[in-house]
A and B are shown apart, each in its own frame.
Chain A
């Protein structure tokens, strides 16, 4: 079992719609949770971090964390073509970050 699991996609989303990405993790004592965006041929960049159960909103992005279910999600509202990228879920424990394989999102005009 991988430590961080994501659907690989691609997830095709019409422009203006909501993209919903999911992530599960296996280490119950994980402490911090992150979503990174990676454009093709580029390095990952942080878009959201979440540390406690519940929702966290930042602009068009909302992260949700449920530690009991070991589940993290990311919603992208009003999806734009510039959101087309691979989204990586990352989980950290004692400073060690583990990444999922990523979900490719394709926003279609």
Chain B
């Protein structure tokens, strides 16, 4: 597709359940980012990939959060044992470079996660 695609757009789950959020970046973009945004806040960095490897995962809040990008394209953010505090919009972005001279981040429309 032309832009960053995220699925599902909305996910409602119960506390304690497992959730997967998917991101399909712009074709050819080597860098892929996951952010979390709560109402009235800016995007909070979670993790970014350069190719298949996680270049920086320092933003993952705890070991319930995990992300993969096995073939260097599509990425999945996995959340185990969801908690109500995990409710937020999860944004994915991709970039052509992801290097020192970073270019523009192109964002998807986000996946809104609600944990009841």
Contacts and interface: CB of A to CB of B under 8 A. Distances in A.
Interface string A86-109: 001010101111111110000000
Nearest to B95: A95
Interface residues of A, number: 26
A88 B98 CA distance: 19
A4 B43 CA distance: 11
Interface string A48-74: 010100000000000000000000000
A101 B41 contact: yes
B56 interface: yes
Interface in B71-116: 91, 95, 97-105, 107-110
Contacts of B33: 97
Interface of B is mostly: loop
A31 B100 contact: yes
A46 B48 contact: no
Given A88-B42, A96-B48, A45 B102 contact: no
Interface in B43-58: 43-45, 48, 50, 55-56, 58
B10 to A, nearest CB: 12
25 contacts: A31-B102, A42-B109, A43-B91, A43-B107, A43-B109, A44-B105, A45-B107, A46-B105, A51-B101, A88-B42, A92-B102, A94-B55, A94-B56, A94-B100, A95-B31, A95-B48, A95-B99, A95-B100, A96-B48, A97-B33, A97-B102, A99-B42, A101-B40, A102-B41, A102-B42
Given A43-B91, A44-B91, 17 more contacts: A4-B42, A42-B109, A43-B108, A43-B109, A44-B107, A49-B103, A49-B104, A90-B105, A92-B102, A94-B55, A94-B100, A95-B31, A95-B55, A99-B35, A99-B44, A100-B42, A101-B40
